[in-house]
Amino acid sequence: MSCKVTVKPSGHEFIVNEGETILEAALRESIMLPYGCRNGACGACKGKVLEGAVTHSAHAESTLSREEVANGMALFCCAKPSGDVIIESKEIGAAKDIQIKTLPCRVEKIDKISHNVAVLSLKLPANERLQFMAGQYIDIIMKDGKRRSFSIANAPHDDAFIQLHIRHMAGGSFSEYVWNTMKPKEIMRFQGPLGSFFLREDSDKPIVFVASGTGFAPIKGIVEHAIKHNIQRPMTLYWGAYNKSDIYMYDLPEQWARDYPHFKFVPVLSDPVPADGWTGRTGFVHTAVLEDVADFSGHQVYACGAPVMVEAAHKSFIEKGLPEDEFYSDAFFLSKDLKPTGA
């Protein structure tokens, strides 16, 4: 049975086919609802059901509580309508005209730039170009049909290659393949661009970027896009890691901070080793942000990395005055088949 969904306040309408989620159907019809993980864990697609009813597949209760469900809230990535519904959701106009494609690509380079991070450079066919917004991600389609999602680490103006930051994880099927088996010139397929983690350029608010591990990848693309387009809003990047070697491109944000007065870089180590000779900030990265920002009401926050970091940042920043709709996130979930970024 197909159902009609009406989106408020835009008034856009689309049909959800049997077995589809509301988000899947919206994207099929080029209606860009915000989303991230697509598996009910990040909360980026959360909205309200104004009329009608939906059923949810499995999702994280910390992302959508029973109380929220009772109040009509829904995660559109795992919500299926029981009939015609009217929902309330913001829409993202900047990305709605970008076509999601499935494309072949060639492995151009595999640069192991640290003890556990490789930069994978993918070359598209000469007659193809991937139009994307800085910060979005792609799904690598493996030979068995499973997908592995990785953020695009380059900005759209620098698109000779699609660059991905792959963290080596023991037992991670794709990362083990990249580190131990993959060779240049191999052909793969991917789908993209995906996600709604990108810079909202219609704002002049100061930006706080919060990254953990390879969560730096999409933020790198966003910052490079902002620099290219002379966006001079105050920006501060907090990059959290265990020790200094885990901040695998340390010199790059340091260079940004030297070259651009409106950009600041704050590395935060949770477990520095003696060899680091570390005299900088320590502890949890979101805690360092809280120490520096007393009132978030006039800020935008872009957080990317481990789910525990993203969730802690979201909760604590909202409590300090950040408007709910000014927190943008992309959490890296280690799910077998859905969004296991870095695995």
**pLDDT tens, residue by residue, 13-39:** 999 999 899 998 988 887 888 887 777
CATH topology of domain 100-194: Elongation Factor Tu (Ef-tu); domain 3 (2.40.30)
**Element at 28 (helix H, strand E):** helix 22-28
Q: Mean pLDDT for the chain?
A: 91
Q: What is the DSSP letter of 131?
A: -
Is residue 107 a contact partner of residue 182, using CB atoms and an 8 Å limit? yes
* Residue 271 DSSP symbol: S
Check pLDDT > 70 for residue 114. yes
pLDDT at 153: 98
- Show the DSSP H helices in 164-322 as ranges: 173-180, 216-228, 251-259, 285-292, 307-319
Can you give the pLDDT at residue 303?
Answer: 96
Same fold, 3-91 and 100-194: no
- Structural domain 207-331, CATH architecture: 3-Layer(aba) Sandwich (3.40)
Domain assignments of the chain as residue spans, ordered by start: 3-91, 100-194, 207-331
User: pLDDT tens digits, residue range 60-93?
Assistant: 788 888 899 999 999 999 999 999 999 999 887 6
Give residue 17's pLDDT: 94
Question: What CATH number matches the domain at 3-91, 3.40.50.80, 3.10.20.30, 3.40.50.300, 3.30.450.30?
Answer: 3.10.20.30
Cα 314 to Cα 301: distance, rounded to the nearest angstrom? 9
Q: How far apart are the first and last CA of the chain?
A: 37
Look at residue 97 in the predicted model and tell me its pLDDT.
66
DSSP character at residue 39: S
Quick one: tokens of 106?
Answer: 């060639």
